């Protein structure tokens, strides 16, 4: 209880309350607009948070992060267009319910499931805070290096079907992070005698370019989304009763969200997939999933909204972001010389508890706001794409220029924006680049510290936590390679089985003929060699 009161004392300020209110309501509105998303909003607001106190800036960003998924469910359910990427699974069962005339009921279920999932996650983490405070100091430089490497490996592995591309982009991010003066001897790296590269490539410039400016290009290039009004049926408070009828699905899905959120590089998509699969396999009516199932909607929404609080654990305890949004928040810590990691849990536990309580309050604010403002938010969801694109582009360049009053930063951001636009057009991931920049810097710093005490390679993993992390990394890589080999073998077998029977038989005959000729040739050569020998040798 003392920790909770200490956290409340940190939050007991008018500017923190204002940031919480603006962030939570603003996050809902941003999530309700398809094509924008929390990453774009946080990228635009990052420069503004640098002039605020750490708790004020983080509360504002947490409000957007934690509430955007609530708003993203509105267009996903009513117009079959997810407001944020993680609400894509919500369309499977939410929109069919709208087509049945149960749109208001579906929205109420999504709100309630999201709220319950978030509260369960926050309560779990508040309860675990004393345990984390004891475990975090066990992580030294070697363990944090391996944890960062594990996060990078998980980011690559999580992009199924694009692992090689994700690995290449992560390496590109690590390379971008090395440009400029290295932190120990201040020697220039990859500057090519260009003075404007000596200070390196700012993370905020890259983030705004890859996320905000590229998305502005996408919105301006595309057509406006035509939506039609659908009559809403059902009551706004029916969802509370529906969620109460399915405590098993809600609790299990929230548990998946907590577990997946704590693991760096995994995030909402994996938790949603596991929760949805579990709900379908244990349901009495699995055939309803994808056709307006209440259990499916509860599973997807409670799983994705229980992740944000859990994702703060690796960020606060180890200084390792789990995905791109927490990587952006890490910049706020660094600007204010607040170093997340084991020291934060030891020396500033009240700050950690304040962040968890801020997440709790923002979910309560969002739930109250949404119960009375859904119809108004549908108007926000119909804003023209080109208007949104121009607005995002303008705000992005204003924020970039305000960092260092540098036109060079604006040009660099425009270049990254163009690169991000190309990646989006090719359907390639952007997250590995950001994670490569952030985790690459952490890995370099911790490796330098660790190598001062390491004499042999085995010394690097001679402690239990380091050994466990190392083995976990090896297992993930081995299973990933094994999966790729099996997938390639199955694809080859499928290609062989789809050939016409005559072609397959002809190929078989030709291979058999080659084999017979080869074997016959071997026997003839052997016989000739024997006959060519002198008679004494043949005997």
Cβ count near 521 (within 10 Å)? 10
Rounded CA gap, 490 and 505, in Å?
20
**Nearest by Cα to 89 from 305, 234, 366:** 305
**Least-confidence region, from 255-264, 368-377, 478-487:** 368-377
Higher pLDDT, 524 or 121: 121
Q: Quick one: pLDDT band at residue 491, thresholds 50, 70, 90?
A: confident
Residue 511: the pLDDT is 52
**Least-confidence region, from 107-111, 229-233, 408-412, 479-483:** 229-233
Q: Quick one: pLDDT band at residue 527, thresholds 50, 70, 90?
A: low
Is pLDDT at 283 greater than 50 in this prediction? yes
Residue 419: the pLDDT is 92
Q: How much is the mean pLDDT over the chain?
A: 78
Is pLDDT at 539 greater than 50 in this prediction? no
* Residue-wise pLDDT tens digits, 2-18: 767 776 777 778 888 88
Whether the pTM exceeds 0.85: the reply is no
Rounded CA gap, 520 and 500, in Å?
30
Q: Is 165 exposed, middle or buried (0-12, 13-18, 19+ CB in 10 A)?
A: middle
Lookup: tokens for 204: 């905020």
DSSP state of 187: -
DSSP per position, 219-261: HHHSPPPP-------S-TTHHHHHHHH-HHHHHHHHHHHHHHH
Is pLDDT at 228 greater than 60 in this prediction? no
Residue 480: the pLDDT is 83
Rg (C-alpha) for the chain, rounded Å, is 28
Rounded CA gap, 334 and 445, in Å?
14
Is pLDDT at 241 greater than 50 in this prediction? yes
Is pLDDT at 34 greater than 60 in this prediction? yes
Residue 418: the pLDDT is 92
């260092």: which residue's tokens?
A: 404
Q: How far is CA 534 from CA 524, 528, 531, 539, in A?
A: 18, 12, 8, 9
Q: Quick one: pLDDT band at residue 229, thresholds 50, 70, 90?
A: low
Q: Quick one: pLDDT band at residue 498, thresholds 50, 70, 90?
A: low
Lookup: tokens for 131: 């345990």
Rounded CA gap, 490 and 262, in Å?
34
Q: Quick one: pLDDT band at residue 526, thresholds 50, 70, 90?
A: low
Rounded CA gap, 149 and 264, in Å?
10
Higher pLDDT, 376 or 165: 165
Is pLDDT at 185 greater than 80 in this prediction? no
Higher pLDDT, 526 or 436: 436
**Nearest by Cα to 149 from 510, 355, 444, 526:** 444
Q: Quick one: pLDDT band at residue 172, thresholds 50, 70, 90?
A: very high
Pairing of strands 180-181, 188-189: antiparallel
Rounded CA gap, 64 and 59, in Å?
9
């926000």: which residue's tokens?
A: 380
Is pLDDT at 1 greater than 80 in this prediction? no
| Longest Cα–Cα distance in the chain | 109
Q: Quick one: pLDDT band at residue 310, thresholds 50, 70, 90?
A: confident
Rounded CA gap, 281 and 296, in Å?
11
Rounded CA gap, 397 and 378, in Å?
28
* Residue-wise pLDDT tens digits, 317-363: 777 777 777 777 777 777 767 777 777 777 777 777 888 888 888 88
Q: Are 174 and 437 in contact (CB under 8 A)?
A: yes
Lookup: tokens for 271: 């938790």
Is pLDDT at 223 greater than 80 in this prediction? no
Average pLDDT, integer, range 163-174 = 89
Rounded CA gap, 461 and 474, in Å?
13
Q: Rounded to 5 degrees, what are φ and ψ at 189?
A: -125, 125
Residue 465: the pLDDT is 84
């Amino acid at each position: 209880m003392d920790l909770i009161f200490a956290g409340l004392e940190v939050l007991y300020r008018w500017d923190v309350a204002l940031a919480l209110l603006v962030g939570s309501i603003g996050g809902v509105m941003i999530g309700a607009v398809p094509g924008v998303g929390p990453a774009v909003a946080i990228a635009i607001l990052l420069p503004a948070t640098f002039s605020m106190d750490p708790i004020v800036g983080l509360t504002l960003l947490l409000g957007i992060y934690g509430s955007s998924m609530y708003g993203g469910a509105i267009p996903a359910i009513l117009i079959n267009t997810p407001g944020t990427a993680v609400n894509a699974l919500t369309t499977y069962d939410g929109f069919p319910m709208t087509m049945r005339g149960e749109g208001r009921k579906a929205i109420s279920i999504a709100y309630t499931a999201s709220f319950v999932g978030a509260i369960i996650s926050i309560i779990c983490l508040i309860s675990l805070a004393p345990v984390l405070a004891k475990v975090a100091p066990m992580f030294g430089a070697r363990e944090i290096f391996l944890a960062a490497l594990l996060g990078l490996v998980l980011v690559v592995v999580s992009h199924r079907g694009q692992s090689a591309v994700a690995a290449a982009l992560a390496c590109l991010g690590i390379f971008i992070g090395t440009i400029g003066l290295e932190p120990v001897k201040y020697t220039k790296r990859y500057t090519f005698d260009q003075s404007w590269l000596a200070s390196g490539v700012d993370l905020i410039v890259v983030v705004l370019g890859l996320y905000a400016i590229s998305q502005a290009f996408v919105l301006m290039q595309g057509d406006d989304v035509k939506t039609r009004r659908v009559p809403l049926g059902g009551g706004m408070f029916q969802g509370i009763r529906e969620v109460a009828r399915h405590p098993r699905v809600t609790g299990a899905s929230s548990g998946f969200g907590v577990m997946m959120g704590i693991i760096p590089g995994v995030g909402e998509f994996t938790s949603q997939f596991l929760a949805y699969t579990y709900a379908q396999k244990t349901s009495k009516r699995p055939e309803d999933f994808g056709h307006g199932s209440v259990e499916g909607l509860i599973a997807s929404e409670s799983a994705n909204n229980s992740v944000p609080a859990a994702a703060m654990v690796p960020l606060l305890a180890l200084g390792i972001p789990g995905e791109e949004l927490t990587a952006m928040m890490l910049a706020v810590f660094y600007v204010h010389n607040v170093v997340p990691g084991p020291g934060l849990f030891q020396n500033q536990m009240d700050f950690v508890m304040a962040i968890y309580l801020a997440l709790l309050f923002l979910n309560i604010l969002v739930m109250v706001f949404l119960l009375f403002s859904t119809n108004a938010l549908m108007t926000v969801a119909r804003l023209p794409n080109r208007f949104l694109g121009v607005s995002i582009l303008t705000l992005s360049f204003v924020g970039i220029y305000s960092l260092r009053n540098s036109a060079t930063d604006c040009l660099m951001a425009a270049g990254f924006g163009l690169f991000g636009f190309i990646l989006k057009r090719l359907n390639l991931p952007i997250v590995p680049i950001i994670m490569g920049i952030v985790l690459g810097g952490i890995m370099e710093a911790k490796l330098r510290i660790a190598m001062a005490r390491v004499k042999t390679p085995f010394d690097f993993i001679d402690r239990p936590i380091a050994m466990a992390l190392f083995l976990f990394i090896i297992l993930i890589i081995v299973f990933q390679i094994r999966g790729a080999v099996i997938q390639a073998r199955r694809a080859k077998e499928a290609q062989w089985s789809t050939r016409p029977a005559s072609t397959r038989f002809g190929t078989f005959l030709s291979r058999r003929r080659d084999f017979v000729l080869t074997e016959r040739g071997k026997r003839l050569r052997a016989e000739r060699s024997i006959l060519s020998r002198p008679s004494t040798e043949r005997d």
